[in-house]
């Protein structure tokens, strides 16, 4: 837990200036009405760079991803790199929107009407194609159960019984 606190502090402090740490955080929250709400926090320049690299002919790290033009590209990128598998079946995430906060984007995704399940796997490969030292912190919350995991390029899948 101390390790997560240290990484979280780096994330906060590095958002005040140009960052040297490549970290995102994601919260996978299961609601009482059978939906999964995902909140992803990621540095603006890194996400813009990823969208440019994967979907545009020219590279840029200062795209305004809130612009509607990039919305579908962003949803495609998330569905390629944020994998939710229930009973070994991949479930599509719906991008609801994003907010700009300082040097970060806060992205909101959701899966509605989940069926009961026993097997859940989460994979967060966001920015792995750009940064070899990228780390993605995954928090999972269902009812009173909580679990955390750090996704790295060589270990990106969290399997949980929650």
Mean pLDDT of 43-49: 90
d(CA 41, CA 132): 19
Which stretches does DSSP call E strand in 16-134? 23-30, 36-43, 82-86, 89-91, 94-101, 104-111, 120-124
Query: What pLDDT sits at residue 5?
Result: 47
d(CA 126, CA 82): 7
Confidence check: pLDDT of 27 > 90: yes
Indicate the pTM of the whole model.
Answer: 0.82
Band (pLDDT 50/70/90 cuts) for residue 41 is very high
Confidence check: pLDDT of 57 > 50: yes
d(CA 26, CA 37): 10
Structure tokens at 88: 């070994």
């Amino acid at each position: 837990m101390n390790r997560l606190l240290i990484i979280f502090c780096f994330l906060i402090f590095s958002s005040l200036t140009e960052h040297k740490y490549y970290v995102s955080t994601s919260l996978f929250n299961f609601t009482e009405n059978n939906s999964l709400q995902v909140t992803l926090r990621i540095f603006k320049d890194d996400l813009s760079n990823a969208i440019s690299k994967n979907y545009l002919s020219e590279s840029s790290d200062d795209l305004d991803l809130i612009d509607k033009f990039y919305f579908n590209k962003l949803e495609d990128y998330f569905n390629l790199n944020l994998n939710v598998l229930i009973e070994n079946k991949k479930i599509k995430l719906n991008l609801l929107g994003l907010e700009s906060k300082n040097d970060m984007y806060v992205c909101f995704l959701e899966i509605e009407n989940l069926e009961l399940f026993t097997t859940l796997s989460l994979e967060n490969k966001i920015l792995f194609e750009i940064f070899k030292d990228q780390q993605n912190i995954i928090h999972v919350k269902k009812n009173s159960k909580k679990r955390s995991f750090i996704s790295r390029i060589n270990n990106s899948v969290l399997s949980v019984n929650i």
